[in-house]
Amino acid sequence: MAGPQGWTPFPGATSIRLSSALPRRLAPFGAMATPLPTVTESDQSLLARVARGDEPALERLYDMYSAALYAVAYRISGERSDAEEIVLDSFSQAWRDAPRFQSDRGSVIAWLTMICRSRALDLIRSRGRRANVVTKAAMAEPDATPGMGSAEPRTDRDVERTERRQIVAEALRSLSPPQREAVQLAFYEGLSHSEIAERLGEPLGTVKTRVRLAMQRLRDSLRPYYTGQAV
């Protein structure tokens, strides 16, 4: 190889090449042109108040979202008492971590959902058990009007949320039955890819692909409802 011109040549330079058989750990990332979801003023404002130690603001968030988070926690844990502890821990964590919430990184409910699911998954995995009691419910067709009650009075916002639930149910119905089953096992029961594969008796790779494609489809279907809008 020719050396660079106009400078001192290299003395005794050596070169070593890494084997091309090494596993590829990082792949090129395609462009993601999707705009970041924005945050509703009311939720963001409430969380800002929570960050300042405002208890009524936390209670308001609880009124708005505890029923949804409790449903998730219950579906994953399968026990009412566990689900309540998970919700309690989630809002307690929100109380502590509110000052660190970054509004440009997503919505308040996405943040709360992430906290709640993480706690629920931690709980069931630490106990090594699974909530089989909800399996049949997870397999069932999603209701057109899901919901078992609300923790707050009916408002315009409730109507909006009911419509959104119908949209989500519709998006779930648009998936193929195997895709829907895989997503519901992953999301509502908190099963890992390998656990889903074991449960369904399917190859792991098939399950991974199924979950990924289903989530991509849900993302594409639901994008108008979380991009730039209140959740």
Q: Is 126 in the site for another protein (CB under 8 A)?
A: no
Structure-token pair, residue 205: 């790779």
Q: Is 178 in the site for another protein (CB under 8 A)?
A: no
Number of residues that bind another protein (CB under 8 A): 111
Considering beta carbons, is residue 47 or 218 the nearer one to another protein?
A: 218
Considering beta carbons, is residue 45 or 225 the nearer one to another protein?
A: 225
Residue 120 C-alpha from the chain's centroid: 12
Measured from the CB of residue 148, what is the shortest distance to another protein in angstroms? 5
Contacts of 220 (CB under 8 A, 6+ apart): none
Binding flags for another protein, 181-210, as an x/- string (CB under 8 A): --x--xxx-xxxxx-x------xxx--xx-
Q: Classify the C-alpha dihedral 195-200-202-206 as positive or negative.
A: negative
Cβ contact 77:90 at 8 Å: no
Phi-psi region of 78 (alpha: psi -120 to 50; beta: other; left: phi over 0): left
Structure-token pair, residue 47: 């969380």
Considering beta carbons, is residue 37 or 45 the nearer one to another protein?
A: 37
Q: Is 4 in the site for another protein (CB under 8 A)?
A: yes
Q: Tokens 């193929």 identify what position?
A: 176
Q: Using CB under 8 A, which residues numbered 36 to 55 contact another protein?
A: 36-37, 53, 55
Q: Is 101 in the site for another protein (CB under 8 A)?
A: no
Q: Using CB under 8 A, which residues numbered 60 to 89 contact another protein?
A: 62-63, 66-72, 74-75, 80, 83-84, 87-88
Cβ atoms within 10 Å, residue 27: 6
